[in-house]
């Protein structure tokens, strides 16, 4: 049989309910804070937090933003002092650095677009498609001009090999086309064997077999 709660037990339960309610209110108020305000609140000691939470959200935000601005200014002045320049000059330096970074990012995007355009226009048919051609062009970008050009010429030969069997006659005779197709087939056969033996990609294998002196006539026959 259930026993009736004593006055003390009722008071304790009511007190616990009030504590839980207050805790939920605090949690909700903290959850509503912007990041700057929340960071400011968490940096305060317990007594200051209680005072802070008693304010409206607008007042809390104002206090937090003001404190952050003052802290940022103090840190900037200290950084400028260590650098031996004025705060305004330091800010100018940072602005210039940001501008340079943005310019470099734009240059990188332009270079990326240029490489992709070259891959499509100059290396159509390259084994692995445009993605592989772009990756290969990027990997050789830092080489001396002569070395880079030699590799690009090989890449073009590889693209020609891959496309030879599908090329239309154009201005060539059927005999020329047959030789081209046969040369492409032979180079592809050798590249397949080379790739398997040396454990390299098909594109690298095509490059290697195309460089072999014994295959010069095959490369020439590709047209």
| Domain range annotation of the chain | 14-58, 123-221
The CA angle 171-172-174, to the nearest 5 degrees, is 135
User: How far lies 119's CA from each of 11, 22, 134, 206, in Å?
Assistant: 80, 65, 6, 17
pLDDT of residue 202: 79
Nearest Cα neighbor of 53 from 65, 35, 40 is 40
Phi, psi dihedral angles at 4 (to 5 degrees): -75, 135
**Spatial CB neighbours of 133, under 8 Å, sequence gap ≥ 6:** 119, 123, 126, 155, 159
The pLDDT assigned to 61 comes to: 94
User: What is the tens place of the pLDDT at every residue in 155-178?
Assistant: 887 787 776 655 554 445 556 667
pLDDT tens-digit profile of 56-108? 999 999 999 999 999 988 888 888 888 888 878 878 888 888 888 888 888 88
Query: What are the pLDDT digits (tens) for 176-197?
Result: 667 777 888 888 888 888 888 9
What is residue 31's three-state secondary structure? helix
| pTM flag (> 0.75) | no
Closest by Cα among 212, 180, 201 to 133: 201
Least confident of 39-43, 91-95, 141-145, 175-179: 175-179
Contact 203, 165 (CB under 8 A): no
- The pLDDT value recorded for residue 176 is 60
Distant-in-sequence, close-in-space partners of 134: CB < 8 Å, separation ≥ 6: 115, 116, 119
pLDDT of residue 64: 94
């Amino acid at each position: 049989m259930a026993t009736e709660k004593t006055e003390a037990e009722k008071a304790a339960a009511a007190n616990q309910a009030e504590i839980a309610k207050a805790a939920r209110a605090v949690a909700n108020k903290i959850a509503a804070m912007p990041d700057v305000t929340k960071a400011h609140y968490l940096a305060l000691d317990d007594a200051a937090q209680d005072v802070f939470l008693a304010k409206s959200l607008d007042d809390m935000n104002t206090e937090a933003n003001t404190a952050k601005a003052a802290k940022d200014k103090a840190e900037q002045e200290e950084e400028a002092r260590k650098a031996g320049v004025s705060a305004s000059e330091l800010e100018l330096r940072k602005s210039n650095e940001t501008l340079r970074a943005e310019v470099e990012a734009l240059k990188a995007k332009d270079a990326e677009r240029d490489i992709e355009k070259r891959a499509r226009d100059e290396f159509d048919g390259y084994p692995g498609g445009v993605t592989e051609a772009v990756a290969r062009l990027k990997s050789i970008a830092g080489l001396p001009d002569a070395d880079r050009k030699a590799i690009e010429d090989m890449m073009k030969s590889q693209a020609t090999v891959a496309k030879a069997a599908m090329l239309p006659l154009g201005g060539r005779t059927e005999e020329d086309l047959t030789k081209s197709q046969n040369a492409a087939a032979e180079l592809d056969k050798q590249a397949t064997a080379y790739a398997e033996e040396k454990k390299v990609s098909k594109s690298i294998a095509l490059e290697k077999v195309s460089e072999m002196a014994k295959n010069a006539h095959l490369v020439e026959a590709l047209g």
